[in-house]
Structure 1
Amino acid sequence: MPNTIRIAILDDHASIIDGYKFRLSEAPDCEVVATATYGAELEPMLAQGGIDVLLLDITVPVSAEDDSTYPMVDKLPEIVRKHPGTRVLVISMHKQSYLIQHALDVGTAGFVLKDDMEVTRKLDEVIRQVNAGSIFVSEAARELIDSPNKKIITPRQLEVLNYFANDPSLSTSKVAEELHIAHSTVRNLLSTTYAKLGVRNLPAAIEEARKKGLITPQSPEHQE
């Protein structure tokens, strides 16, 4: 008998979790050992240890009391770093190429679009692949990141946006000083970020980035 792959699931839809559990119930080497529906439940679930593969939706509410979007995309690097023994497979309905690319760049085990039924029907096979160390990107997701029109927000652009999100009173000159870059560079980074997010100004960019879970309300570096 092969070793059992211990699986955890984070998704805010109970029907999705039930669907994954049903598909995996017929795989003798796959066992769903933990599930969660809110972002705040993720770290306690992972802290229990022994989870081989995490199926992760990147758009979930914070908690039952707080329905704002949990900043999952922003926290992905920390999740991967703190739990190196757990392979993180993102399964999401979002088709923004920069989200897919970011998830892969920070070390997740792959990205699957929820509406890619051909892949989700063979979920056990995908889990075996990522558990063995492979990176799995569904064909539909790969087409998006390979598109010449992809709009990837770079880590530097997110860093600048985070500064203003944490303290809206900051001037571009102050951010430039903090990052040791030119004032004009900050302005250029912001303008390209606006274009990629489809907005026209800083408040709209911050709001859109928070909706997508790209930035946190306040990063540790700027807390008093």
Structure 2
Amino acid sequence: MPGAPIRIAIVDDHALVRAGFRRLVAAAPDMEVVAEAGDAAAAIEVAAKWRPDVMLLDVSMPGGSGLSALPAIRASSPHTRVLVVTMHDDPSYLRAALASGAAGYMVKTSGESELVGAIRTVHGGRTYIDVAIDAQCAAGSQPKIQAVAALSGRERQVLEMVAYGHTHREIAERLSVSVKSIETYRARVADKLGLRTRADVVRYALEHGIMSPDRDPTKDA
């Protein structure tokens, strides 16, 4: 028996864009739109009232940036996964979004099927990064070979899985070790690379070719 549909809120200041997103969501059998908003302040109200599973959030809107509203959105509805959908393909916006609590980031030039896939990805607890902006991150930064080489094989595995949004418990089950061991590996990564938050981990993994948006290490055979 199918489960409950993914409840989605759409936040964009352009009515035509909202209509397009609504049409795409309506065509997906496992999704439904529960609310819409046209500015950052209304996005916070929507999060508090409707507590959607996923929110599609624009960045540049009248009255304030979607990124500036992200912390309040997350505070109003902690379980809501925010997928930033924007025209900005500058990696600095991606980093700011992740640091503010976004679960994913994609540009509006992406294909229709990519949006649906991105919604399912973030709803499933993973991080989604648009392929185009991921390529820019990879091209714009040279790997710090010595820093990466300082990691053990297991530490690198943990780093990669954390970047993809998996919890310590999920990683422990995958690697057949204790949660305490994963916490220890994570602490070692933090000490060696200075990566204290998940946003730091995602940024580092993108910039150093450790993370690819079309691959999840826990799905490897």
In which range does the TM-score fall when normalised by the shorter chain?
0.5 to 0.7
Q: Which structure 2 residue ranges, 5 or more long, are not aligned?
A: 143-221
Which runs of structure 2 are paired with 1:27-176 in the superposition (5 Å)? 27-62=28-63, 70-117=64-111, 120-148=112-140
Q: Which runs of 4+ in 1 moved over 4 A?
A: none
Distance in structure 2 (CA, Å) of the matches to 1:148 and 1:39: 31
User: How high is the TM-score relative to the length of structure 2?
Assistant: 0.59
Structure with greater contact order relative to length (CA < 8 Å, sep ≥ 6) = 1
Q: Any conservation in 1 of the 2:9–2:55 contact (CA below 8 Å)?
A: yes
Q: Any conservation in 2 of the 1:56–1:90 contact (CA below 8 Å)?
A: yes
Cα deviation per residue 1:129-187 (whole Å; 9 max; x = unaligned)?
A: 1111010011012122333269xxxxxxxxxxxxxxxxxxxxxxxxxxxxxxxxxxxxx
Q: Any conservation in 1 of the 2:44–2:72 contact (CA below 8 Å)?
A: no
Gap change, CA 1:145 and 1:74, over 3 Å in 2? farther
Q: Secondary structure at the match of 2:56?
A: strand
Cα deviation per residue 1:1-45 (whole Å; 9 max; x = unaligned)?
A: 122110000011111111111111121210001011122211111
Structure having the higher Rg? 1
Distance in structure 2 (CA, Å) of the matches to 1:127 and 1:146: 23
CA-based RMSD of the aligned residues comes to 1.9
Distance in structure 2 (CA, Å) of the matches to 1:86 and 1:121: 21
Q: Secondary structure at the match of 1:102?
A: helix
How many aligned residue pairs are there?
A: 141
Q: Secondary structure at the match of 2:50?
A: coil
Q: Any conservation in 1 of the 2:103–2:127 contact (CA below 8 Å)?
A: yes
Q: Which structure 1 residue ranges, 5 or more long, are not aligned?
A: 63-69, 151-224
Q: Percent of aligned positions with the same letter in both sequences?
A: 35
Cα deviation per residue 1:47-87 (whole Å; 9 max; x = unaligned)?
A: 1133100000011112xxxxxxx133233233334421100
